[in-house]
Structure 1
Amino acid sequence: MDLTTAENSAATTPAPAAPLKVAVILASNREGRFAPVIADWFLARAAGRSALETDLIDVAALDLPTALSYSPDPRTREVLAEVSARLAAADAFVVITPEYNHSYPAPLKNLIDLHRAEWQAKPVAFVSYGGVSGGLRAVEHLRQVFAELHAVSIRDTVSFHHAGALFDDEGRHRDPAGPDAAAKTLLDQLFWWGRALRDAKAAHPYGG
C-alpha cells in the first residue's frame, strides 16, 4: 500500500466512538437505606460494558439548596456547581430509587428541580426497589417529571420486589438470572438511545 492509499484509508475509517457517559443517581438518603446494595449490583453489571462510563451521584452525599428557596452559602454553591457539571457532562442517566409513600424521594425531586438543560434530550432509565410494588409507582411518577424536562424515559426497567429478601449478606442476588437479563435489556436500550441522541445533538442542537 502506498502512502496516498494509506492516507485515504485512514481518512475514511471512522474514529472509535467515545464511551457513553452515564450518570447513575442514587435517590435515597434515609438512614439504614438499602440503596447501596442495589447500586453496587447495578454498577457491577454496567462495568462489564467497555462502551459505558459510569459516574455515581449519591444524593446522600450532597448538601444542595432547596429548589424552592434558593439562597445557598458559598460552600453549597460549590457543591451545586460540581453536581450540575457532572449532570451536564452525562449522555444518559440511570435513576436508582425506592418508593416512599407511593412516589419517589424528596431529595431526588430537589436535585431534578434544580436543573433543566442538563436533562434535556437525554435518555433516563430506572432501577427501582421496594416492597410489593418494587418501586414501580415511583418510576411512573418520574416518567411524567422527566417528560416535562424533555428527557426520554427508557421503556424497560429493573425492579426488585421485597428487595431485602432477594440479596444475601454479601450483596449478591440469590437468583440472578432474571435481574441480570432485565439489566441487559435496560442497558441495551439506554445505550441505543444515548448514542442516537448524542449523535443527533452533535449534528443539530436540541431546540427544546
Structure 2
Amino acid sequence: MPAITEPLRIAVLVGSTREGRFAPVVTKWLSGHLGQRDDMRADVVDLAETPLPTVFPAFGQQPPPGTEEALALVTPRLAAADAFVLVTPEYNHSYPASLKNAIDWHNEQWHGKPIGFVSYGGLSGGLRAVEHLRVVMAELNAMTIRNTVSFHDAWSRFDADGSVKDPAADTAAKALLDQLAWWAHALRDARSVRPYAA
C-alpha cells in the first residue's frame, strides 16, 4: 500500500487557561513555524476557548449536563490529528490541571500517535512539566518524541511583536517539527495498514 502523502494534521493543545497567561505568545510563534511547512496543517485547540468539564461521572453514572456538547468541540479534532504538540507552562513543578483534564477526558484519540512538547516557565523552562507528561502519555499509548523546545525565563525571550530574540529557538522548532513529521508519517502509514492494538 503506498504511503499517504496528504499533509499531516497537527493538533496544537494550548495547556494554560489562566488569566494573563503567556501561552498565546508561545503558540503564535509555534503556529508561524507550522504555517511555513507544506507537510503540516495546524489546528490550535485552546483549552481556554474550549473548556471541558472538571467533574468526572462515577463509574456507571451519567456525565454532568453539557459534557457531550463540550467534548464535541474538542474530541473530533483530537481524533482527526495525526500528531500533537502540547504547549505547556510549568505550574508547581508540573503541568496545568486544565491540560491533565483534557488528556483524561480522552483515550483512543492519543493511541499510536506522536507528541511533541513546547514548554515555558522560569528557571526550568517547563521541562519538569514535560517529563511528567511523557509518563502520562506513555500510559495512553502515545509516542513522545525526544526533541523539545523549552523557553527558560520565557517572558524575556520574546520581543514586543512576539518574535523570539534568540534564533536558536527557531532552529530548535524546526528540529522538533522535523522529528514530529518523521514519526507522524511512520505511525499514520502503520495505522492505515492495521488498527493500533491498545
Give the CA RMSD over aligned residues: 1.4
User: What's the CA shift for 1:195?
Assistant: 0.5
Deviations along 1:63-103, one digit per CA (max 9) or x if unpaired, are: 311253472324x4212123111000000000000000000
- 2:8 equivalent in structure 1: 20
Matched, 1:187 2:177: yes
- 1:65 equivalent in structure 2: 53
Matched, 1:157 2:152: no
User: TM-score scaled to structure 1, two decimals?
Assistant: 0.89
- 1:198 equivalent in structure 2: 188
Return the match for 1:37 from 8, 13, 25.
25
The structure with the largest alpha-carbon Rg is 1
Q: In structure 1, what is the Cα distance between the partners aligned to 2:188 and 2:84?
A: 13
Q: Which amino acid aligns with 2:145?
A: I
Residues 26, 53 of structure 1: alpha-carbon distance in 2 compared, 3 angstrom cutoff: same
Gaps of 5+ in 2: none
- 1:116 equivalent in structure 2: 107
How many equivalent pairs are there? Answer: 193
User: TM-score scaled to structure 2, two decimals?
Assistant: 0.94
- 1:171 equivalent in structure 2: 162
User: Which has the higher relative contact order, 1 or 2, with Cα contacts under 8 A spaced 6 or more apart?
Assistant: 2
- 1:105 equivalent in structure 2: 96
Identical positions, percent: 56
Paired residue secondary structure (1:157): strand
Deviations along 1:31-75, one digit per CA (max 9) or x if unpaired, are: 10000000000000111101100000011112311253472324x
Paired residue secondary structure (1:142): helix
Matched, 1:96 2:87: yes
Contact 1:127 1:157 in 2 (8 A): yes
Paired residue secondary structure (1:189): helix
User: What's the CA shift for 1:16?
Assistant: 6.9
Stretches of 4+ aligned residues off by more than 6 angstroms: none
- 2:130 equivalent in structure 1: 139
Q: In structure 1, what is the Cα distance between the partners aligned to 2:163 and 2:146?
A: 26
User: What's the CA shift for 1:117?
Assistant: 0.2
Q: In structure 1, what is the Cα distance between the partners aligned to 2:30 and 2:51?
A: 25
Q: How does 1:40-51 map to 2 (within 5 A)?
A: 40-51=28-39
Paired residue secondary structure (2:117): strand
Q: Which amino acid aligns with 1:60?
A: A
